[in-house]
Homo-oligomer: A and B are copies of this chain.
């Protein structure tokens, strides 16, 4: 399996046992997420905005509107940090300090550059659509030239990347084990409710299978992940 090669900036110094260095885990986290948090700097002020994204191979694509002030700033190819975090549960231990959160996160550093070629942009939008709702693109009207122009797509390579995973039971100090408190994990996942019809929906049109059975890839209840380490005696 191909491994990530951490740089000085992405090598995980804090809780290095939580660092994960294989691309399969990186890809799985990115493919399961729905929005990323993109950080960029204007003047000396950092901004962090949520936005849709897609992964294709070793490239991350970010989606926004050309009218957006924040993404406009990025359009020239600015330095960004893109973070995707999946929360898998709460970890309740016998001391406040050792409480934790089960999570999987990816941090990508690099330069985001706009995709300008209309054909390439259309191809990427298709990939974005398929990542978010597989099967949807073919059912609806594709972007027209005006809409395509109003959409900003940014690309950044998955080069300088760090991946962290925390899962497994709480790690208490031995001297806390005689506590009378319950300890364990409370797993969480995303639940999809029944689709809500658009009030303007024409009679006789029903939600397709890809909506009724919608599920993010890899989203399962709190299964141990391959290549990760369990727990920690720290509180973060």
A binding-site residues for B, Cβ under 8 Å? 9, 13-14, 34-35, 37-41, 44-52, 63-65, 67-70, 79-83, 85, 87, 89-90, 92-97, 99, 101, 103, 105, 107, 109, 125, 129, 132-133, 136-137, 139-144, 147, 150-151, 169-170, 172, 176-202, 205-208, 211, 214, 221-222, 234-236
Contact A196 B200 (CB under 8 A): no
A189 and B191 in contact (CB under 8 A), knowing A41-B41, A64-B236, A133-B90?
Answer: yes
CB distance from A60 to the nearest CB of B (A): 13
Contacts of A143 in B (CB 8 A): 95-97
Q: How far is it, in angstroms, between the C-alpha of A31 and the C-alpha of B55 when the chains are bound? A: 31
Contact A81 B198 (CB under 8 A): no
Contact A196 B222 (CB under 8 A): yes
Contact B46 A40 (CB under 8 A): yes
Contact B140 A96 (CB under 8 A): yes
Q: How far is it, in angstroms, between the C-alpha of A176 and the C-alpha of B208 when the chains are bound? A: 18
Set B107, B197, B234: member contacting A48, Cβ < 8 A: B107
A184 and B197 in contact (CB under 8 A), knowing A48-B83, A90-B132, A190-B191?
Answer: yes
CB distance from A215 to the nearest CB of B (A): 11
Contact B188 A79 (CB under 8 A): no
Since A35-B87, A183-B197, A183-B198 are in contact, a sample of 6 more A-B pairs with Cβ atoms closer than 8 Å, ordered by chain A residue number, is A35-B103, A37-B85, A94-B140, A95-B140, A169-B196, A186-B211
CB-nearest residue of chain B relative to A160? B45
Contact A196 B185 (CB under 8 A): yes
Contact A107 B47 (CB under 8 A): yes
Contact A186 B177 (CB under 8 A): no
CB distance from A128 to the nearest CB of B (A): 9
Contact B190 A188 (CB under 8 A): yes
Contact B81 A48 (CB under 8 A): yes
Q: How far is it, in angstroms, between the C-alpha of A188 and the C-alpha of B235 when the chains are bound? A: 29
Contact B172 A45 (CB under 8 A): no
Q: How far is it, in angstroms, between the C-alpha of A180 and the C-alpha of B39 when the chains are bound? A: 39
